[in-house]
Amino acid sequence: MEDLLFSLNVTVPIFMLMVVGYFLKQIKAIDEGFANKLNNFVFKVALPCLLFADLATVDFAEAWNFKFVMFCFGVTFVSILFVIIISMFIKEKSQRGEFIQASYRSSAALLGLAFIQNIYGSTGLGPLMIVASVPLYNICAVTVLTLFAPGRDESEGMSKQIKRTLLGIAKNPIIDGIAVGLLWSALGFPLPQIIHKTVSNIGSCATPLGLISMGALFDMKKALKVGPVALAATFMKLMGFGIVFVPLAIRMGFVEQELIAILVMLCSATTVSCFVMARNMKYEGTLTSAVVMLSTLLSAFTLTGWLYILKGIAVI
């Protein structure tokens, strides 16, 4: 019961922020234009600041665990390849990019660290999991969303597609925030408290503003039309990858904080930054918002179930 209450306390407020955004739009306190500008601010400013603040202050040399990092990276890469293959069975091509991204991108940097800290009193190996997975999450998201973009000219040559994709990655603010954060950490530069506090304050706006924006732009009628695809993506995010890779992680000897970090990476709710990125890359965003809402609401119960199972077999 305690684990369930913790999970509910983490996930329900997030879900409620989406409801607040939807309600504000209905009473005309905000309109679609404002919600789009809010979404743009989160994408270009708040999320890059959040990722920079998370990565710039981590001492990776002290906490480095090569086996753990390689496992997280490898599992993330295989998961992405798998959902790309699955997406080929979706008839509506405009939904494929959103389905792929929403199926694999977790709230690792937001919900993940809070979850680990609540169980063990510190973030433990959480930052290493972020280094192994989050940059790959974002690079692959930009690549996938570019290649599957609605209205893309399919007759465009391969060299032009590659050039456009690489340019999209290089110009993506989220990728830039990760790159600068990793470089700052690698060079060992100190981060003055004033700067760290300022950047962290801006970054802390990312989740609430992104969720309110998503709620305001959420279209219930369109969401119902993408229901089956959204349910499939939600299942993959909360259960599918965990069923395949959590037993493998246990077999490879990962326990306690390592295993919890892997569980969070594989089975936590789809991150709101999926919606932010999809909207800013000219996607409708309905499928993504539906998956974020579903996975956030259900993750309180699925994560609790995962914890109950792992405690039962004495690996955490």
At 179-222, the pLDDT tens digits run 888 888 888 888 889 988 999 899 888 878 887 887 887 777 77
With a cut of 70, say whether residue 126 has pLDDT above it: no
Region 130-135: mean pLDDT is: 72
**Domain at 2-312: CATH code:** 1.20.1530.20
With a cut of 70, say whether residue 6 has pLDDT above it: no
Share above pLDDT 90 across residues of the chain, in percent, rounded to a whole number: 15
Q: Find the range with the poorest average confidence among 11-20, 57-66, 258-267, 278-287.
A: 57-66
With a cut of 80, say whether residue 44 has pLDDT above it: yes
With a cut of 60, say whether residue 122 has pLDDT above it: no
The DSSP bridge partners found for residue 106 are: 270
Among 76-80, 168-172, 176-180, 281-285, top mean pLDDT goes to 76-80
With a cut of 90, say whether residue 99 has pLDDT above it: yes
Residue 234 is predicted with a pLDDT of 93
Residue 243 is predicted with a pLDDT of 95
User: What CA–CA distance (Å, rounded) separates 273 from 288?
Assistant: 10
CB distance 106 to 268 below 8 Å: yes
With a cut of 60, say whether residue 309 has pLDDT above it: yes
55-72 pLDDT, tens digit per residue, is: 787 776 666 778 888 898
Among 16-20, 42-46, 196-200, 243-247, top mean pLDDT goes to 243-247
Residue spans per domain, the chain: 2-312
Higher pLDDT, 198 or 151: 198
With a cut of 60, say whether residue 154 has pLDDT above it: no
Residue 190 is predicted with a pLDDT of 84
pLDDT band (50, 70, 90) for residue 92: confident
Region 276-283: mean pLDDT is: 81
With a cut of 80, say whether residue 291 has pLDDT above it: yes
Residue 282 is predicted with a pLDDT of 79
**What's the whole-number average pLDDT of the chain?**
80
pTM above 0.95, yes or no: no
With a cut of 70, say whether residue 155 has pLDDT above it: no
Region 273-290: mean pLDDT is: 83
Q: Which of 267, 261, 263 is nearest to 239 (CA)?
A: 267
9-36 pLDDT, tens digit per residue, is: 666 777 788 889 889 999 989 888 898 8
pLDDT band (50, 70, 90) for residue 244: very high
